[in-house]
Amino acid sequence: MTLRNPSLVALSSFLNKQPGTICNSCIRYAEVEKDGQVGPSLKGTTREFVSRAGSTPAKSILMVVENIHSEDIDILGSSFGIDPFFFAGHIASSYSGIENSPPPPLLALPPSQIASREYFNIHYQKVLDLGAESDLGLAPYHLTLRANIPRNIRRLPALSGRSIGLLRGCISVVKQYLPNGLWLCKIITNNLLSYIPRADELVRFDSGGPRY
């Protein structure tokens, strides 16, 4: 698959790297009425979501996955026939060495093909307060975050004694339509939207790691 589509290399590496690790993602889902009323948020596993949505659901279902694990990708992809480029576009957020390595799907696919898909990947940058500059003064400027999908963090010059970081993240959405006007929507995000990492959760990139 990766020989025919080099842009899927990041996805293939992610799936092959994580099978032995504990699935520590956070999954919530809720049923949505046809009039837009949203039911209570339920916390569960990917398998529980598939069990509920895989039969004939009576309502539309919205699912949010934070810190997605390879096991989640395998179950969701096989159960709902999700295009692997959807997951590849979420994982591949580094643009380093783009002249010599396969570009991420966002750059590899023509705009007409991207626009015709039932999903999209939104890559963004988020400013983080990493703590007091005195605590991180000797930390390197190229950092990553401990997560199932490591995300680049670039330290910036200190501001008023605070160490500032710029995170590169992604939010991905896929919506699949069902009979009778129902749908299933899966949202994949980092676990950082309201989360500030501690110094001990930041690790330095090695010499071969990604760079901004």
Contact 189, 62 (CB under 8 A): no
Q: For position 185, what pLDDT does the model report?
A: 93
Residue 153 has pLDDT above 50, yes or no: yes
Q: For position 103, what pLDDT does the model report?
A: 53
Contact 63, 28 (CB under 8 A): yes
CA 173 to chain centre: 10
* In-domain check, residue 139: no
User: In 3-state terms, what secondary structure has residue 181?
Assistant: helix
Q: Provide the domain count of the chain.
A: 1
Q: For position 190, what pLDDT does the model report?
A: 82
Contact 158, 90 (CB under 8 A): no
- The secondary structure of residue 36, as a DSSP letter, is S
Q: For residue 189, what is the domain's CATH number?
A: 3.30.460
The string over 62-85, giving b where at least 16 C-beta atoms fall within 10 Å of a residue's C-beta and e elsewhere, is bbbbbbbbbbbbebbbeeeebebb
Residue 201 has pLDDT above 60, yes or no: no
Mean pLDDT to the nearest integer, 22-48 = 88
* In-domain check, residue 40: yes
Neighbours of 162 (CB within 10 A): 13
Contact 145, 198 (CB under 8 A): no
Strands 183-189 and 60-66 come out as parallel
Contact 119, 86 (CB under 8 A): yes
State the average pLDDT for the chain.
77
Contact 173, 183 (CB under 8 A): no
Residue 72 has pLDDT above 90, yes or no: yes
* In-domain check, residue 154: no
* In-domain check, residue 206: no
* In-domain check, residue 13: yes
* In-domain check, residue 64: yes
Over the stretch 79-96, which tens digit does the pLDDT of each residue have?
999 988 899 889 876 655
* In-domain check, residue 180: yes
Dihedral angle of Cα 82, 42, 18, 171, to the nearest 10 degrees: 60
* In-domain check, residue 14: yes
d(C-alpha 172, C-alpha 87), whole Å: 8
CA 127 to chain centre: 17
Range of the domain at 55: 6-124+170-196
